[in-house]
Structure 1
């Protein structure tokens, strides 16, 4: 009989999968013109983790917690929503850095809101962008 401590939820990812997701999220953030400081705040990672992930060492590994994995997922989902909204790569990658005058953003860029570092700002940014496409998956 498995004890609670030995049961692993299906949503858990391997370290390799976490690193792959982290690198994908960092590539997207780079294309969104996020600074290293913004990327670290959005993903809640240290500067050393950021630097090591960018080096592409195939042997490097890092343990990511549930919050960090959720943040990676949110960045990937925002990117997916933008790809559905826009055909032009300049818009897909430029939109997060553009000033937005909708009520939630109040003239700030989505990237600026996400870089506040809290999960609510990241999630609410995703919700607003996702709503632009009418939530039509």
Structure 2
């Protein structure tokens, strides 16, 4: 897993905010989903979208960014075409963990455990474990 930690230079960690916002745009995330995924409020989201370098990099935000970047990385490994790389999270999934839900339905709960579990299950598919 890519670890985005407080030991990164501030500009590198803040660049990760801009990157993850771009990824969420490609995932067609609504404002509400972006807020849930990042664990932030509407005004903070608008501030970060306007100026990613203004992001306050709390341990919670850094952990969320790490999971989101890792989910993106796994999807790029699993799928060659951009339609699946960016659309998979919206597709209903019959894996027992997803139980017919699209992964974004689980992610948009905003729970850190949802980010962890979706990443873990996608990573297991990448490893051929089909957890």
Fold-level similarity (TM above 0.5): yes
Alignment of 1:24 with 2:19, yes or no, is yes
Unaligned runs of 5+ in 1: 1-9
8 Å contact 1:15–1:61 — kept in the other structure? no
Alignment of 1:34 with 2:20, yes or no, is no
Could you list the per-position Cα deviations for residues 93-134 of structure 1 after superposition, in whole angstroms to 9, with x for gaps in the alignment?
Answer: 000111111111111111110111111111000011111111
After superposition, the CA RMSD in angstroms is 1.8
Scaled by the length of structure 1, the TM-score of the pair is 0.82
Count of aligned pairs between the two proteins: 124
Q: Counterpart of 1:3?
A: none
Match of residue 83, structure 1, among 61, 76, 83: 76
8 Å contact 2:107–2:114 — kept in the other structure? yes
Match of residue 63, structure 1, among 47, 53, 56: 56
Unaligned runs of 5+ in 2: none
Q: 1 or 2, which has the higher helix percentage?
A: 2
1:88-99 map, 5 Å: 88-99=81-92
Give 4+ residue runs of structure 1 displaced > 6 Å after superposition: none
Could you list the per-position Cα deviations for residues 23-82 of structure 1 after superposition, in whole angstroms to 9, with x for gaps in the alignment?
Answer: 111111111111111111111122122112222x47x51212111101001100000001
Alignment of 1:44 with 2:39, yes or no, is yes
Query: Which deviates the most, 14-23 or 108-117?
Result: 14-23
Which structure would you say has the larger Rg?
A: 1
